[in-house]
Amino acid sequence: MKDKVNIRTLTSNQIQEWILKHNFPKFRAKQIYHWLWKKVRSHFSEMANLPGALIDLLDQSFFIDTISEDLVQKSDDGTIKCRYKLHDGHLIESVLIPVPSDNRYTVCVSSQVGCSLDCSFCATGKMGLKRNLTAGEIYDQVVQINTLCQEHFDHALTNIVYMGMGEPLLNYRNVLRSVEMITSPDGLHMSPRRITISTAGIAKMIRRLADDNVRFNLALSLHAPTDDARSKIMPINESNNLDALEDALEDFYRQTKNKISYEYIAFNGINVSMEDARALAKRCKRYPVRVNIIEYNPIGLGGFEKAEEDQIDRFAQFLRTQNVMVTVRRSRGKDIDAACGQLANKD
Ligand code: SF4
């Protein structure tokens, strides 16, 4: 496999060039592209309308970076976590979060194997970074979970969030390419408005999203309203402080008008005091932003406890009195380690 090229890193034009260089008719490129992205085949031999000589040549020159199902776990609340094996043996996880009452079926996808950012409350961060996922590997998670969603709930996926393992903006090119194929008529043809990329906060990459005029929504994992508190739990805050992030997000909103949200895991004694609520409300004035407060699931990392429900409710209520848009999300998939910050390839 070493000398072979991952064919899904090629654009349709590049496949066409390759086809013409090897003296096959141009329409073969379109057929190959269709098999790769629409039909998501893992072997060239499955591309039934290609001649044998072309299949052999494809086999000698390329490989396909498909992912394969390794473990599926279903939570009591309907959440399904899937572990996938990559072509080089690495493992990643994706989570299907169904909310049938709202007709909402969301997949949470991974963008890296592990993560380099080491947020202190996160199991993925403890793994370190193994490698970036390819666009194909990100895309395949959506395809596979979509199939699972149809099988279990008789419904297609409605939303995609890049909130699984890894920091999406540190795998910028592949993440954007995966979005391109998820939204393309050559791929899944979903609306970019149904996609949210979640970042721990890298100001210069947020500006790059703005300059690239992307069409998807952006979530910032805020988790604390002051630099002092945030730097203690998210080391990335030391080089990307809250003012720098707000400037970049304002730029993002001005240029794209896409939705912005703040993810805010409620930790007892760390970020849900009334003082925190006041500081957070002040941080919600510069551009329209929704705050999603998320119940924490203890994962055995020292120093973090779940905030009580009434404490969360008081915190949320204060924000509402300050005209901040707030949603409180009860945690999903706790019993299978599928909840926020729990993805770490455990059985
Ligand atoms: S919370 Fe996100 S950015 Fe932080 S270590 Fe975990 S996966 Fe990485």
**DSSP state letters, 321-332:** HTT-EEEEE---
Q: Are residues 277 and 213 in the same domain?
A: yes
Q: Which of 63, 91, 111 is the last residue of a domain?
A: 63
pLDDT tens for 83-134 read: 999 999 999 999 999 999 999 999 999 999 999 999 999 988 889 999 999 9
Residue 346 covered by a domain: no
CA–CA distance from 233 to each of 114, 128, 141, 222, 241 (Å)? 18, 16, 29, 10, 13
Is residue 72 predicted with pLDDT exceeding 90? yes
Per the annotation, the verdict on 119 as an active-site residue is no
Q: Are residues 9 and 101 in the same domain?
A: no
Q: Are residues 235 and 308 in the same domain?
A: yes
Residue 206 covered by a domain: yes
Residue 347 covered by a domain: no
170 lines ligand 1 (CB under 6 A): no
C-alpha 177 to ligand 1 mean position (Å): 21
The minimum-distance atom of ligand 1 relative to the CA of 121 is 1
- The domain of 32 spans 5-63
Amino acid, single-letter form, for residue 38: K
Residue 142 covered by a domain: yes
What is the rounded distance in angstroms from the CA atom of residue 281 to the CA atom of residue 283?
5
pLDDT mean across residues, the chain = 94
Residue 233 covered by a domain: yes
Q: Which of 63, 95, 113 is the last residue of a domain?
A: 63
The residue to mutate among 92, 95, 108, 124, having the most atoms of ligand 1 within 8 angstroms of its beta carbon, is 124
Distance of CA 155 to the CA centre of its chain: 21
Q: What is the pLDDT of residue 71?
A: 96
The minimum-distance atom of ligand 1 relative to the CA of 122 is 6
166 lines ligand 1 (CB under 6 A): yes
Supply the pTM of this predicted model. Answer: 0.95
Q: Are residues 150 and 27 in the same domain?
A: no
The minimum-distance atom of ligand 1 relative to the CA of 115 is 8
Q: Are residues 100 and 21 in the same domain?
A: no
Enter the tokens of residue 111.
């963008």
Residue 164 covered by a domain: yes
Give the number of domains in the chain: 2
Instruction: Count how many residues are written for the chain.
Output: 347
What is the rounded distance in angstroms from the CA atom of residue 138 to the CA atom of residue 151?
21
Q: Are residues 279 and 130 in the same domain?
A: yes
Q: Which run of H or of E encompasses 235?
A: none
CA–CA distance from 106 to each of 95, 96, 165 (Å)? 8, 6, 16
pLDDT tens for 129-172 read: 999 999 999 999 999 999 999 999 999 999 999 999 999 999 99
Q: Are residues 274 and 314 in the same domain?
A: yes
Residue 201 covered by a domain: yes
Per the annotation, the verdict on 284 as an active-site residue is no
The DSSP call for residue 23 is: T
pLDDT tens for 19-53 read: 999 999 999 999 999 999 999 999 999 999 999 99
Q: Are residues 143 and 23 in the same domain?
A: no
Is residue 222 predicted with pLDDT exceeding 90? yes
Q: Which of 26, 46, 63 is the last residue of a domain?
A: 63
Q: What is the pLDDT of residue 193?
A: 97
The minimum-distance atom of ligand 1 relative to the CA of 125 is 5
What is the rounded distance in angstroms from the CA atom of residue 218 to the CA atom of residue 245?
12
C-alpha 51 to ligand 1 mean position (Å): 46
pLDDT tens for 111-123 read: 999 999 999 999 8
201 lines ligand 1 (CB under 6 A): no
Residue 116 covered by a domain: yes
Is residue 18 predicted with pLDDT exceeding 80? yes
H-state helical runs in 212-294: 227-233, 242-256, 274-282
C-alpha 40 to ligand 1 mean position (Å): 29
| Residue carrying the six token digits 């926020």 | 340
Q: Are residues 112 and 261 in the same domain?
A: yes
The minimum-distance atom of ligand 1 relative to the CA of 118 is 5
170, 191 Cβ separation under 8 angstroms: no
Q: Are residues 312 and 182 in the same domain?
A: yes
Query: Out of 108, 115, 284, 340, which one is annotated catalytic?
Result: 340
What average pLDDT does range 208-233 have in this prediction? 97
200 lines ligand 1 (CB under 6 A): yes
Q: Are residues 178 and 312 in the same domain?
A: yes
Largest CA distance in the chain: 70
Q: Are residues 200 and 251 in the same domain?
A: yes
What is the rounded distance in angstroms from the CA atom of residue 229 to the CA atom of residue 149?
39
Q: Where residue 330 falls among pLDDT bands split at 50, 70, 90?
A: confident
Beta-strand relationship, 217-221 and 80-85: unpaired
C-alpha 203 to ligand 1 mean position (Å): 16
Q: What is the pLDDT of residue 345?
A: 67
95, 136 Cβ separation under 8 angstroms: no
299 lines ligand 1 (CB under 6 A): no
CATH number, domain containing residue 156: 3.20.20.70
Among 243, 230, 225, smallest CA distance to 281 is for 225
What average pLDDT does range 50-57 have in this prediction? 98
CA–CA distance from 306 to each of 30, 143, 240 (Å)? 52, 34, 26
Enter the tokens of residue 215.
């069409």
CATH number, domain containing residue 17: 1.10.150.530
C-alpha 114 to ligand 1 mean position (Å): 8
